[in-house]
Structure formats: C-alpha cells, structure tokens
Amino acid sequence: MRIGLGSDHNAFDMKESVKSYIKELGHEVIDYGCHSCSEVDYPEVAFEVGQDIMKNKLDRGILCCGTGIGVAIAAGKVPGIRAALCHDTYSAERAQLSNSAQILTMGAKVIGVEVAKQVVKVYLESHFSGGNSGRKVQQITDKEQEFLKGESAPHEKTYK
C-alpha cells in the first residue's frame, strides 16, 4: 500500500520511527512532513494527506501530533475523509473493520513508539468488509454530502 505519513514537531520522532517500521512491513511511505523538530502547525499536513487520499494518490494515511486529536479533527475536515484516533490495537482494528477509516491518528505524548508500531501494524492489516458497518458508513457519507450542499448545515463558530 501507499501510505501518507505526517506529523507536527511534537510527533516528529514518532513519525520517523513509524516511517521506518511501515517500510519494514513492505509498504511505500510518502512523507508529508514535518521534517525536523522545529515548530510547525499540523493542519496543512493533515489536509494534504486527506486530499491525496481523496485523489487516490494514497491508500491510507497516518498522522501524529502531541495528542492525535488535532490531526484527526483537521483531516476530518477534508470531505470524504474518516480519521480515527487510536492508541490501542483494538481501536485500530475497529477503525478499519467498522468505520473504513482512511486515516489513523496517534498522539506522541500519549503512547510510546513501540505501542504506535503495534497500532500501525494492526491498522494496516485490517480491511473494511462492509456488512452492517457499510450501512452506517454510508449514512455518514450521505449526511456529509447534505452538509456540503448546505442542507441542514449546522452553524459553526469562527475562531480567531
């Protein structure tokens, strides 16, 4: 598989370790940055990975930041993307089996590198098969399309 990988500065070391591990598992890795421990904002990295998944340039994505929450929220703003925050193997497996999540997110300040590798392995080995979960994923997709068309769109706050 072609895996897009990205992080902010808080998770740079984890990203680098996970990158080597994904290659050991036999997958191709496209590194979206960051490329050092210098401070960088994660949204643009998450947006790029999400967009490239939607353009079929990537099979899946893995994003890391301090908690994994920010990159999950940012990636989830890309229409069609389902990003799942997982810090254990069961959640990583269910992210695929139940939710067809194209992006796995993790927090470098929450779990260590060895646990992250286990989570990544299970996530990459799991595959969505539809069934009852397919119906639920379709409901999410349908509602997202309604929101994008402006139908029943919630009012969002603006932050500055």
How do residues 131-143 score in pLDDT, each as one tens digit?
A: 899 999 999 999 9
What integer is the mean pLDDT of 33-54? 96
pLDDT band at residue 159 under the 50/70/90 scheme: low
pTM listed for this prediction: 0.92
CA distance linking residue 95 with residue 147, whole number of Å? 23
Give residue 155's pLDDT.
Answer: 60
Conformation bin of residue 100: beta by default, left when phi > 0, alpha when psi is -120 to 50: left
Give residue 154's pLDDT.
Answer: 58
Give residue 158's pLDDT.
Answer: 63
Q: pLDDT tens-digit profile of 75-94? A: 999 999 999 999 999 999 99
Give residue 150's pLDDT.
Answer: 86
Give residue 114's pLDDT.
Answer: 98
Distances (CA, A) of 4 to 46, 63, 79, 103, 145: 10, 8, 17, 9, 25
Residues carrying an active site annotation: 65
Give residue 80's pLDDT.
Answer: 97
Say yes or no to pLDDT of 129 above 80.
yes
Amino acid type, 134: G
What integer is the mean pLDDT of 1-27? 98
Give residue 107's pLDDT.
Answer: 98
